[in-house]
Amino acid sequence: MPRLSTWFVRSSLVYLALGFTLGAILLVNKGLAFLPQVWKLLPIHIEMLLMGWFVQLAAGVGYWILPRLSGERPRGDVRITWLAFWLINLGIGLVILETLIPLPGILMIARLVELVGVLAFIINTWERVKSFAS
């Protein structure tokens, strides 16, 4: 497995553990109602599981498993995919920060950073997606 795939997959597993733990806390709170403010953390739980776990796991496995290109860059420009990795994680961090400390405009910036990260991944991976007949 390429180093970059390892980073994507391991990061996704960290987010899975954190998101699952936060979800368990939310469910316990739903039954016992020990801290009503914990429901403000629901967007963090969703962000960790969707962008943190699901998207990064898919990106890591996709980067690893999709057909390679011929030439000296079999997986495309690795710098673009590293940029995608860091932008996605920066966006996740900004969403978490905005949930904890609401700041005007941060959520929009976070989503744009995530979007640019996902687009960078798509751009670098696009030509590797081909049928067996190609």
| Whole-number Å distance between alpha carbons of 92 and 8 | 13
* pLDDT less than 70: residues of the chain: 133-134
- Report the pLDDT value the prediction gives residue 52, as an integer from 0 to 100: 97
Cβ(96)–Cβ(50) below 8 Å: no
Q: How many CB atoms lie within 10 A of CB 62?
A: 16
Q: What is the pTM of this model?
A: 0.91
pLDDT of residue 134: 55
pLDDT at 130: 80
- Per-residue model confidence (pLDDT) at position 13: 98
Separation between Cα atoms, residue 87 and residue 82, nearest integer Å: 9
